[in-house]
Amino acid sequence: MSFRQISVFLENRPGALLEMTETLYTNSIDMRAFSLAETSDFGIARIIVDDVEKTAAILREAGYILSITPVIAVEVPNEPGGLRRTLRTLSEVNVNVEYMYAFVGSNPAVAMMVFRVADIEKAVTALESAGIKEVTL
């Protein structure tokens, strides 16, 4: 199962991230996963939220530039080699991982990993065949 992730472009300055999260808080948006990447001029906040359409509309109205992209999330065993198995499965079917990040779940035995891949359908099929469990948010 894929999810839609919102990527928000932020000016790289003190308070910019706070302002975005204040906008989400003020509008009762629940973030399920979050990642932040930066360059010298701007940052990209990648978020998975409880309501993508509502969140996108609120952020656009507040003046943010954003994009919505499909991602997949899977459980990775919290043990040596857990991530390696998932990456090997994707590599074996020639699916490129563009980026990934983790978020906290309730089970300490597994890590929750979000993947942006070039071919989601191919990735999901390969991961399911390998017995790698997708996360439901």
Distance CA 129, CA 134 (A): 12
Task: Choose between 71 and 82: higher pLDDT.
Answer: 71
What's the predicted TM-score (pTM) here? 0.86
pLDDT band for position 57 (cuts 50, 70, 90): very high
Q: Which two tokens stand for residue 126?
A: 């390969």
Task: Give me the chain's average pLDDT, please.
Answer: 91
Inform me whether the pLDDT recorded for 39 exceeds 80.
Answer: no
pLDDT at 103: 80
pLDDT at 1: 62
Superfamily of domain 71-129: VC0802-like (3.30.2130.10)
Q: For the chain, how big is the Rg over CA atoms in Å?
A: 16
pLDDT at 26: 96
Give the rounded percent of residues in the chain with a pLDDT score beyond 90.
70
Task: Choose between 120 and 41: higher pLDDT.
Answer: 120
DSSP state letter for 134: B
CATH hierarchy code of domain 2-70:
3.30.2130.10
pLDDT band for position 133 (cuts 50, 70, 90): confident
Domain with CATH 3.30.2130.10 in the chain: 2-70, 71-129
Q: Which amino acid is at 120?
A: I
Put residue 126 in one of left, alpha, beta given phi > 0 → left and psi -120 to 50 → alpha: alpha
Q: Where are the beta strands (DSSP E) in 53-109?
A: 65-77, 97-103
Inform me whether the pLDDT recorded for 114 exceeds 90.
Answer: yes
